[in-house]
Amino acid sequence: MSSTAQAGGVPVLILREGSNRSRGRETQHANITAAKIVAESVRSCLGPKGMDKMLVDSFGDVTITSDGRTILDEMDVQHPAAKMLVEVAKAQDNEAGDGTTSAVIIAGELLNKAEELIDKNIHPTIIIDGYKKAAEKALETLEKIAIPVDLKSPEYLKKAAITAMASKLVAEYKEYFADIAVKAMLEVAEKEGNKYKVDVDDVKVEKKTGESLSDTSLINGIVLDKEVVHSGMPKRIEKAKIALLDASLEIEKPEFDAKINIESPDQIEAFLKQEEDMLRDMAEKIITAGANVVVCQKGIDDMAQHFLSKKGILAVRRAKKSDMEKLAKATGGKIVTKLDDITSADLGYAALVEERKIGDDKMTFIEGCKHPRAVTILIRGGTQRMTAEAERSLHDALCVIRDIIEDPKVVAGGSAPELEMSSTLKKYAETLPGREQLAVKTFAEALEAVAITLTENAGLDPIDVLSELRSRHEKGETWAGIEVLEGKIQDMLKIGVIEPITVKRQIIKSVTEAASMILKIDDVIAAGKMKAPPTPPGSPGGQYPGMGEY
Ligand SMILES: Nc1ncnc2c1ncn2[C@@H]1O[C@H](COP(=O)(O)OP(=O)(O)O)[C@@H](O)[C@H]1O
Ligand SMILES: [Mg+2]
């Protein structure tokens, strides 16, 4: 389409040359198609029978995953509407931590079906209104069918963790991982009034290639992927008093080139002596404060290492900032940024600090911390790709556990809640006037996409399964869903396929928002691509290079 209008025969140019504009039906069609393609690309990954994808980035690095968000992140999507669907996956991941694939599939289906309505001359605004009403009703249904959980018995937590990992590469060890995840999260959960709060980041996850997934372990404390800096230092300290330093134990090099003129050997000696004294001084301050362990965020000079080791102090350098913060919280220590200020009050406490050999590497374990709410899950696995996917799966498990701890309500899975919402919506639609009714019905049908996709991925016939599921829900079997491992319709609650209500609630919210946003667009104005970076005027050449090209 052109960006010009005719005024009395004279074209009026309002956009910069090279800009692109598309409008109306054409835009809607293009946007919907783009979003549909994104949804299509993750379809085959849904559920325990879903497939994995092998993603190769521009550096040739390979990731193997079935995680919706990871796939879309790596795909480097360009189309603006497609990007909005990628945003749905991100929002879902941030808010609930699981359900990303389902969200993208449902959003794609909402748009796909909206297109049929637009073709029937129903205006997008009516569709959007209908979708909003449907979403409200769906959320209401969700709250109605949800089952409250008593956190005193962690049975549902474990089941939800197992469900979240059922569709991942680690499925074989899902029970084992679920136990670890539940223990870790309960350890770091804190009571606030009559509710619990828990942060997934409080569970530190480290991974080390070697052994197998079943050697993954939960450590009551913090594990640093660092070794003790000096071979003369002790490798094990009990009743550790830990100095946490965000200051370097090195002589700062000047930022500019400085020259020192030395005329005699004495001067060299004096110069080196002075350096040594400064380093000794630094070590002395730590020793005086009474520390027997040093965790330093920056470097530690060889000479300083020597002084510390002579006093039997165990030191670790270049610790990550996030680890320093976790250590401060766990050991009750303060991070010291100016060495001059360090006192015994700044030191943290742990019952044991020890370097251990894990695979080919050494790691430092800080256990029995003052504040018990510090745990690390150390993932082991045959290959680096395996541990990376295990970490992603574990993340989903930790997130669903958090969801339930913070909002203790669950639903069953295997498309049961989606079908229950769908069935309620179909009845609700009957009460609405013509066009809105169509939109609400459409929403109801889009929710069935989860059942269809799970079934297809299991190699079953979606038409048979869907019609049976529909009729069972019609008869009031709230938790009828498709169990894909056996390929049978089952009461998903009875067989313990459990999910947090938070995940399902967030899916409804984010798909409705995304679909509405994409449907509302009827005009895309895109600036032309910049061909070369603009050169500032007046630069050599005198011209304005690139004029008219961007
Ligand atoms: N044994 C099972 N039978 C059927 N569906 C299952 C089973 N275990 C998990 N699911 C379903 O798989 C879906 C989640 O699949 P997953 O690949 O993790 O995608 P998402 O990114 O949406 O979480 C959920 O709808 C969940 O209820
Ligand atoms: Mg999942």
The residue whose C-alpha atom lies closest to atom 7 belonging to ligand 1 is: 414
Q: Which has the minimum average pLDDT: 51-55, 162-166, 448-452, 513-517?
A: 51-55
Q: Is 202 a catalytic residue?
A: no
Task: Enter the tokens of residue 86.
Answer: 């990628």
pLDDT of residue 406: 94
Q: Is 216 a catalytic residue?
A: no
Q: pLDDT band for position 532 (50/70/90)? A: low
Q: Which residues, 6+ apart, have CB-to-CB distance to 23 below 8 Å?
A: 1, 522, 523, 524
| Residue in 65, 101, 209, 442 annotated catalytic | 101
pLDDT of residue 228: 95
pLDDT of residue 4: 52
Pocket test for ligand 1, best of 42, 167, 422 (most atoms within 8 A of CB): 167
Q: Is the CB of residue 484 below 6 angstroms from any atom belonging to ligand 1? A: yes
Q: pLDDT band for position 543 (50/70/90)? A: very low
| Residue in 63, 67, 202, 424 annotated catalytic | 67
Q: Which residues, 6+ apart, have CB-to-CB distance to 486 below 8 Å?
A: none
225 vs 23: CA distance, rounded Å: 54
Residue 507 has pLDDT above 80, yes or no: yes
Q: Is the CB of residue 442 below 6 angstroms from any atom belonging to ligand 1? A: no
The residue whose C-alpha atom lies closest to atom 20 belonging to ligand 1 is: 99
pLDDT in tens, 375-426: 999 999 989 888 998 999 999 999 999 999 999 999 999 999 999 999 999 9
Q: Is the CB of residue 70 below 6 angstroms from any atom belonging to ligand 1? A: no
Across residues 255-259, what is the average pLDDT?
A: 74
pLDDT of residue 539: 44
Of the bound ligands, which one is closest to the alpha carbon of residue 104?
A: 1
- Helical (H) or strand (E) element with 162: helix 155-166
pLDDT in tens, 137-187: 999 999 999 999 988 888 999 999 999 998 887 888 999 999 999 999 998
Residue 373 has pLDDT above 80, yes or no: no
Of all atoms in ligand 1, which is nearest to the CA of residue 45? Answer: 17
Cβ atoms 275, 302 nearer than 8 A: no
Pocket test for ligand 1, best of 42, 72, 163 (most atoms within 8 A of CB): 163
pLDDT in tens, 51-108: 878 888 778 888 888 777 888 877 777 788 888 888 889 999 999 989 999 999 999 9
pLDDT of residue 321: 93
Cβ atoms 488, 501 nearer than 8 A: no
Q: Is 67 a catalytic residue?
A: yes
210, burial (CB in 10 Å: exposed 0-12, middle 13-18, buried 19+): middle
Per the model's pLDDT, the better-predicted residue between 532 and 386 turns out to be: 386
Tell how far the Cα of 107 is from the centroid of ligand 2, in angstroms.
16
Q: Is the CB of residue 500 below 6 angstroms from any atom belonging to ligand 1? A: no
pLDDT of residue 147: 94
Per the model's pLDDT, the better-predicted residue between 45 and 65 turns out to be: 45
Of the bound ligands, which one is closest to the alpha carbon of residue 159?
A: 1
Tell how far the Cα of 278 is from the centroid of ligand 1, in angstroms.
61
Q: pLDDT band for position 549 (50/70/90)? A: very low
What is the pTM assigned to this prediction? 0.83
Of all atoms in ligand 1, which is nearest to the CA of residue 415? Answer: 25
pLDDT in tens, 454-470: 999 999 999 999 999 99
pLDDT of residue 540: 45
pLDDT of residue 73: 79
Of the bound ligands, which one is closest to the alpha carbon of residue 486?
A: 1
pLDDT in tens, 268-297: 888 888 889 999 999 999 999 999 999 999
Pairing of strands 314-316, 293-296: parallel
CA dihedral of 18, 24, 26, 31, whole degrees rounded to 10: 90
